């Protein structure tokens, strides 16, 4: 059986078309399937529409979260409830084409455990969005301790053993594309053209992109901590050189090191480095604090599914 996970947040305008296209693709494949819709605390009619879809389609499961926990948590909920031998993650806005799923399944049958979509181009998006997205992927790629493919989102197919491996990872700050890379197995990318949103607005504005980037860097890289250590070592070396110079000038010459401006600059520089260092360490400590509380990644208000 094949499962498709569809996270939804305020997607009332997209759901009917999304369901029709997914149903058409899986019907043509002729394989048993389930569509797992996750209502991530939507504020519009998304929940009502999903209940209507559930009432008319026996292949549908609906998970309604108690509030908006975020895209990564919603997908996690789907991964934990999906029962398929292979699981596809796809957004409801139809920027990622359901018609690519048969090609993903063909590669899965050829032995690939993770098949991910690579965004060859992105239509209908502003220059600022394209630039920030490109910067986001390259920063994550450059700083991560593991190989995270460039220009890939969460549109992918996972074999059951890859799903089980991801579900065994308990962290609360999640970057699923990084987690899918970390688990390993045989992986393959498929290039595609990302379409404009069918309707509505993006659910990843600048604030969420920055938050996701921080989660990815803190979860998969110790590079910022190494930078803090390097900055501290450089500051210490420069300080020692300055001390030796001041002592030599005092003891060997008739001049004393003067100048309040240089002292003012040095104090500000070291103070700034200390604050940045505290901020970087604080990001990691904050994540340790969150993990130590062991709160659930999401809370489900209701799960609509047919037993058996």
**Amino acid 37: pLDDT:** 93
**What gap in Å lies between CA 301 and CA 38, rounded to an integer?**
11
pLDDT tens digits, 16-57: 888 999 999 999 888 899 999 999 888 888 888 888 888 888
Strand order across the beta sheet in which 60-65 lies: 187-194, 114-122, 152-159, 86-89, 2-8, 33-39, 60-65, 300-304
Q: 115 or 241: which carries more pLDDT confidence?
A: 115
Highest mean pLDDT among 56-60, 212-216, 227-231: 56-60
pLDDT category at 277 given cuts 50, 70, 90 is confident
- Helix 260-293 vs helix 206-220: angle between axes, to the nearest 10 degrees? 80
Claim: this prediction has a pTM higher than 0.75: no
pLDDT tens digits, 50-68: 888 888 889 989 999 988 8
Mean pLDDT of the chain: 79
Q: Which residue has the tokens 């309707």?
A: 199
pLDDT category at 87 given cuts 50, 70, 90 is very high
**Amino acid 4: pLDDT:** 92
**Amino acid 143: pLDDT:** 66
**Amino acid 125: pLDDT:** 60
| Residue among 81, 280, 96 nearest 190 (CA) | 96
CATH code assigned to 2-126+153-205+296-304: 3.90.550.10
Distances in whole angstroms, Cα of residue 25 to Cα of each of 22, 28, 39, 199, 308: 5, 5, 22, 21, 23
Work out the average pLDDT over 104-131. Answer: 78
**Amino acid 26: pLDDT:** 92
Under DSSP, the state recorded for 201 is: -
């Amino acid at each position: 059986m094949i499962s498709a996970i569809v996270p939804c947040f305020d997607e009332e305008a997209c759901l009917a078309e999304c369901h029709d296209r997914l149903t058409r693709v899986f019907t043509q494949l002729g394989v048993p399937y389930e569509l797992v819709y996750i209502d991530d605390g939507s504020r519009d009619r998304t929940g009502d529409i999903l209940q209507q879809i559930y009432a008319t389609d026996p292949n549908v499961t609906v998970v309604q979260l108690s509030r908006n926990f975020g895209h990564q948590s919603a997908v996690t909920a789907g991964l934990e409830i999906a029962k398929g031998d292979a699981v596809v993650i796809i957004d409801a806005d139809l920027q990622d084409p359901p018609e690519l799923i048969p090609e993903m399944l063909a590669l899965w049958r050829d032995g690939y455990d993770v098949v991910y979509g690579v965004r060859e181009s992105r239509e209908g998006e502003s220059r600022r969005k394209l630039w920030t997205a490109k910067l986001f992927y390259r920063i994550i790629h450059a700083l991560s301790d593991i190989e995270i493919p460039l220009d890939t989102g969460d549109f992918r197919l996972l074999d059951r053993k890859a799903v089980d491996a991801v579900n065994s990872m308990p962290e609360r700050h999640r970057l699923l594309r990084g987690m899918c890379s970390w688990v390993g197995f045989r992986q393959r990318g498929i290039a595609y053209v990302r379409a404009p949103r069918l309707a509505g607005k993006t659910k990843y504005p600048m604030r969420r992109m920055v938050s996701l980037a921080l989660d990815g860097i803190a979860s998969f890289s110790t590079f910022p901590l190494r930078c803090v250590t390097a900055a501290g070592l450089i500051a210490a070396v420069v300080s020692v050189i300055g001390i030796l110079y001041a002592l030599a000038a005092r003891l060997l010459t008739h001049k004393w090191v003067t100048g309040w401006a240089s002292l003012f600059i040095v104090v500000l520089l070291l103070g700034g480095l200390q604050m940045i260092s505290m901020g970087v360490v604080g990001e990691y400590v904050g994540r340790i604090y969150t993990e130590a509380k062991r709160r659930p990644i999401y809370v489900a208000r209701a799960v609509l599914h047919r037993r058996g």
